[in-house]
């Protein structure tokens, strides 16, 4: 089963993907994570990617395409994949279709996590990530899991692109570039809009209900 999860930064795509990975054995392909890996590996594109991400801009469609394409080349058996953060604009959606054909996959479900701007601002301003296990927490909620986290608190970092100014820029970019994807995917039988303002577990219930696995 192939799923696309899209929605503005901070909508909870990463968190919801993790639920599906753990419960249904999906592979999560997060373009944000793949790009951050390139930065950490100090690959030939690393520095360029880092400056783009930190400015809150989008990496070129060609680079994203080639990163995803080579990732898909290495997938041998598991055909349950969640695309988290890709496609992000119309051009990428068209190329996504090409990738599906090339790798013999079929897109089944598309979830749009719709969240209000104010809610996004609140969420991202408190977001920290454990660099050890990649779990995401929010310091704005009195999150018990954060205090008792298994890796301890020494791995928590705030992503550089989570600063207030960058958040707003990323949100505006999302509105301009990603929102047209709604019209593009609305015609697909597997399209589902999710109220992403709700609590994490309620969102998860909505998604699983529509997945019907």
Whole-angstrom Cα distance, residue 209 to residue 61? Answer: 32
31 contacts ligand AMP (rule: CB under 6 A): yes
Facing residues of 28 across strands?
Answer: 82
CA 14 to each of CA 87, 125, 143: distance values in angstroms, whole numbers, following the listed order: 15, 16, 17
93 contacts ligand AMP (rule: CB under 6 A): no
Which DSSP string corresponds to 176-200?
Answer: HHTTHHHHHHHTSTTEEEEETTS-H
**Size of the residue set binding ligand AMP (CB under 6 A):** 17
First to last CA, the chain: 10
Cα angle for residues 97, 120, 126 (degrees, 5° grid)? 120
As measured in angstroms, the least distance from the Cβ of 204 to ligand AMP is 19
As measured in angstroms, the least distance from the Cβ of 79 to ligand AMP is 21
59 contacts ligand AMP (rule: CB under 6 A): yes
As measured in angstroms, the least distance from the Cβ of 56 to ligand AMP is 6
58 contacts ligand AMP (rule: CB under 6 A): yes
Q: How many CB atoms lie within 10 A of CB 110?
A: 24
Can the peptide bond before residue 87 be classed as cis, meaning omega within 30 degrees of 0? yes
Nearest to 28 by CA among 58, 68, 57: 68
52 contacts ligand AMP (rule: CB under 6 A): yes
When the beta carbons of 177 and 193 are compared against ligand AMP, the nearer one is 177
Residue 137-166 contact track with ligand AMP, rule CB under 6 A, x = bound:
------------------------x-----
Among residues 6, 45, 65, 86, the one that binds ligand AMP under rule CB under 6 A: 86
As measured in angstroms, the least distance from the Cβ of 92 to ligand AMP is 6
**Interacting residue ranges for ligand AMP, rule: CB under 6 A:** 9, 31-32, 35, 52-53, 56-59, 64, 85-86, 88, 92, 161, 170
């Amino acid at each position: 089963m192939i799923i696309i999860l899209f929605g503005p930064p901070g909508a909870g795509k990463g968190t919801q993907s993790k639920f599906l990975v753990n419960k249904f054995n999906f592979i999560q392909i997060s373009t944000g994570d793949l790009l951050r890996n390139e930065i950490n590996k100090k690959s030939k594109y690393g520095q360029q990617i880092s400056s783009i991400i930190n400015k809150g801009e989008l990496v070129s469609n060609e680079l994203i395409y080639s990163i995803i394409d080579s990732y898909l080349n290495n997938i041998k058996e598991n055909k349950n994949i969640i695309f988290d953060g890709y496609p992000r604009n119309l051009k990428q959606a068209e190329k996504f279709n090409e990738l599906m054909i090339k790798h013999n996959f079929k897109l089944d479900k598309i979830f749009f996590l719709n969240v209000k701007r104010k809610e996004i601002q609140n969420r991202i301003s408190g977001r920290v990530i454990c660099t050890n296990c990649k779990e995401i927490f929010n310091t704005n909620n009195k999150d018990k899991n954060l205090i008792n986290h298994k890796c301890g608190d020494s791995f928590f970092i705030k992503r550089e692109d989570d600063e207030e100014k960058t958040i707003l820029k990323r949100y505006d970019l999302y509105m301009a570039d990603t929102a047209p994807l709604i019209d593009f995917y609305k015609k697909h039988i597997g399209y589902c809009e999710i109220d992403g303002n709700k609590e994490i577990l309620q969102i998860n219930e909505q998604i699983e209900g529509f997945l019907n696995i």
